[in-house]
Amino acid sequence: MQNGKTAIVTGAGTGIGKSVATALLKNGWNTVFCGRRKDVLDAAVAEAGAAEAKALAVACDISVPDQVDRLFATVVETFGRVDLLFNNAGMGYKSTTIDEIPVEVWNDVVGVNLTGSFLCARAAFGAMRRQQPMGGRIINNGSVSAYAPRPGSVPYTATKHAITGLTKTLALDGRPFDIACGQIDIGNALTDMARPMTVGVPQANGTMAPEPVMDVQRVADAVVHMASLPLDANVLFMTVMATKMPYVGRG
The Cα 141–Cα 148 span in angstroms is: 15
Taking every pair of Cα atoms in the chain, the longest distance, rounded to a whole number of angstroms, is 55
Half-sphere exposure of 176 (CA within 13 A, CB side): 4
Distance CA 77, CA 63 (A): 22
| Residue of 111, 107, 89, 112 whose CA lies nearest to 34 | 89
**Long-range CB contact pairs, 96-100, < 8 A, 24+:** 96/152, 97/152, 98/154
d(CA 18, CA 88): 10
Q: How close are the terminal C-alpha atoms of the chain, in Å?
A: 44
Question: Running DSSP on this structure, what letter comes out for residue 84?
Answer: E
Catalytic residues: 156
Question: Using CA atoms, how far apart are residues 144 and 150, in angstroms rounded to an integer?
Answer: 9
